Amino acid sequence: MSAATADTAAPTMKQYVDVHCHIIHEQFAGEEDDVAQRARDKGLEFCVVNGLEPKSNRAVLELCARHPNSLLPALGIYPLDAACNVISADVWPHPFPPPDKFDVDAEVEWIDQMCAEGKVVAIGECGLDAYYCTEPAQLAEQERVLRRLIVVAKKHDLPLILHTRKAELRTFEILQEMEVTKADFHCFCGKAKLGKRIAEAGYYLSIPSAVNRSEQFKKLVKEVPLEQLLTETDSPYQGPEKDMRNEPMTVPIGVAVMAMVKDITEEEAMVAIRANFRRLMNI
């Protein structure tokens, strides 16, 4: 089935959403259109595909252009990539290569231009990562780039989709300082108490399909009001079963678990989450 045919197929009655996925990941190479179709077959109305750096940002636009009625593009600069020019390969301590260097400021300007042309629904993935980046210069550069992207998001009235690993509170503080009103804390792994503060400030927290096997995510779902929750997959990561390759079609599994935790029907959970998504994305 061609992409054009797939995107005009009769919609199902279900209307799930995935606010954060990486269908352009190398694990999906050659399968991107099939992944999009499987998502539609499982009742996903929209999937937001997130970029990380120049190559993936452009791949996101190309893929979403083939599926304009179901895949929505978000362009960003992942925290590790944001710090690429202050990371030294000689002392990089992790078991994967450091990010490739690129002109980060030029990429911010390009993202700004894509927003001006109406090609983007959100800024992301972006944010802070204090798990892999611990050097002061790396963290400072991440903050500088995040602040630049916040300016772009506010300029175009777009939401931010945030990575906040081991930097949840600092990210929240920056949003408050810069008077950000639209943001989603993707795959939030901080304490539930902070999650409640984030929700009270009007921001959203998106829960991955891994809630099926994670007591931490279940606790977060229990503590945060349904009106501030969203669903995501972080595909190919955060699957409902350990070590499985995840993709957007697993969102219904996450919604079922969230509904159970909230003691409501799956239909009630799906409808509320869809309304949250449309509110955040101005759809």
pTM for the predicted model, two decimal places: 0.94
- Tens-digit pLDDT profile for the chain (283 aa)? 333 334 434 344 689 999 999 999 999 999 999 999 999 999 999 999 999 999 999 999 999 999 999 999 999 999 999 999 999 999 999 999 999 999 999 999 999 999 999 999 999 999 999 999 999 999 999 999 999 999 999 999 999 999 999 999 999 999 999 999 999 999 999 999 999 999 999 999 999 999 999 999 999 999 999 999 999 999 999 999 999 999 999 999 999 999 999 999 999 999 999 999 999 999 9
Whose structure tokens read 């600069």? 77
Pairing of strands 16-21, 204-208: unpaired
247 is in an annotated binding site: no
25 is in an annotated binding site: no
Q: For residue 207, what are the β-bridge partners?
A: 231
156 is in an annotated binding site: no
Closest to 20 measured CA to CA, from 49, 58, 54, 44: 49
Contact 238, 192 (CB under 8 A): no
163 is in an annotated binding site: yes
Domains along the sequence of the chain with CATH? 14-281 (3.20.20.140)
Side chain identity at residue 36, one-letter code: A
